[in-house]
Amino acid sequence: MAIYGYTALFLLFHLATAIRIRVDESGSTGNYQKIQDAIDAVPRNNSENVLILIKPGVYKEKIVVPADKPFITLSGSKPGKGKVIITWNESGEIFESPTFTVLASDFMARHLTIQNTYGSGAKAVALRVSADRAAFFGCRILSHQDTLLDDKGRHYYNNCYIQGDTDFICGNAASLFEKCHLHSLSQGTGAITAQHRHSPFEKTGFTFVNCKISGLKSALLGRPWGAYSRVVFALTYMSNVILPQGWDDWGDTSKQRTSYYGEFMCYGPGSSTSRRVNWSHSLTSQEAKSYLTESINGGRSWVRAVLPRFRRASGDLSGHVGGRHP
């Protein structure tokens, strides 16, 4: 069976150019010193692609991309050229604690580290994505509990490193994770996923293709936050961190009938399905086909590549993007 080439899906957005803004926390170059200031400069109801280039550094900010500011791309430096680290320290309600919140559609992030340094023992979200058509490339998303609140919308994660200990990829989005590294900090039965699909009619779920799972001690692949939770792992390396049972019903046996947990051609010491819970699925090639040979979340039509041409921001971004210029 030919595996679907998701990496070939990156399509140019219909606008051929983008406004370019630079952020430098040192203040020596760039238009802004804070990432949030650059986002705030984008006009409401924006209809133009805006690329925010961020120089390496540690940005101690709690960031929100508002719903009325679509078409923003945040980009750090390519690997090996210095890290862009966005960091915050907060716990509490999952929709309030995130270091970074995306509410705007058509958002893209590249080469960013997004972390919540609160530590273990409480909900502490690093990244919340509550918008349609959001894509993340080469990002590091770090916390302990509820690291990535993949809340709603269609999302794509490529070559990302996601770390946590309890339900650290959670929410009810329709998301594809390709070539991502999932690292569990759990010391016992912490779950990697807690997918929140609560109706059989919702076209949501998490699919992991060609990923890698590692960890410190032991972990579950997932447990159902919603009664119709849906998660599939395909062609994924699983270290011995994965417990033999693989999945858990979160103390509610009725969810065994309605959840859908599947694995297809995974490998590694934690991939054996011989002792998996009997309500999970070892997928056949035909059953896995829709996850491997079709765009499960419409990504063919909206995931885009780096735009080919940019123009520097000038003037006030009621007309474009304002701020200080080098």
Q: Band of the pLDDT at 8, cuts 50, 70, 90?
A: very low
Distance in angstroms (rounded) separating the CA atoms of residues 263 and 180: 16
Q: Band of the pLDDT at 3, cuts 50, 70, 90?
A: very low
Highest-pLDDT range among 77-81, 272-276, 315-319: 272-276
- pLDDT value for 234: 97
Of 36 and 292, the one with more pLDDT: 36
pLDDT in tens, 159-170: 999 999 999 999
- pLDDT value for 305: 56
Percent of the chain having pLDDT more than 70? 87
Structural domains of the chain in order of their starting residue, each with its CATH number: 59-65+76-297 (2.160.20.10)
SS (H, E, C) the chain: CCCCCHHHCCCCCCCCEEEEEEECCCCCCCCECCHHHHHHHCCCCCCCCEEEEECCEEEECCEEECCCCCCEEEECCCCCCCCEEEEECCCCCCCCCCCEEECCCCEEEECCEEEECCCCCCECCCEEEECCCEEEECCEEECCECCEEEEECEEEEECCEEEECECCEEECCEEEEECCEEEECCCCCEEEEEECCCCCCCCCEEEEECCEEEECCCEEEECCCCCCCEEEEECCEECCCECCCCECCCCCCCHHHHCEEEEECCECCCCCCCCCCCCCEECCHHHHHHHHCCCCCCHHHHCCCCCCEEEECCCCCCCCCCCCCC
Please compute the mean of the pLDDT values over residues 177-203 and round it to a whole number.
Answer: 96
pLDDT in tens, 39-58: 999 999 998 999 999 999 99
- Using the predicted structure, report yes or no on whether residue 237 has a pLDDT greater than 80: yes
pLDDT in tens, 292-311: 765 677 776 778 655 545 56
So which residues are the catalytic ones? 146, 167
- Using the predicted structure, report yes or no on whether residue 313 has a pLDDT greater than 80: no
Q: Band of the pLDDT at 178, cuts 50, 70, 90?
A: very high
- Using the predicted structure, report yes or no on whether residue 4 has a pLDDT greater than 80: no
Please compute the mean of the pLDDT values over residues 89-103 and round it to a whole number.
Answer: 97
pLDDT in tens, 103-151: 999 999 999 999 999 999 999 999 999 999 999 999 999 999 999 999 9
Please compute the mean of the pLDDT values over residues 272-278 and round it to a whole number.
Answer: 98
- pLDDT value for 317: 54
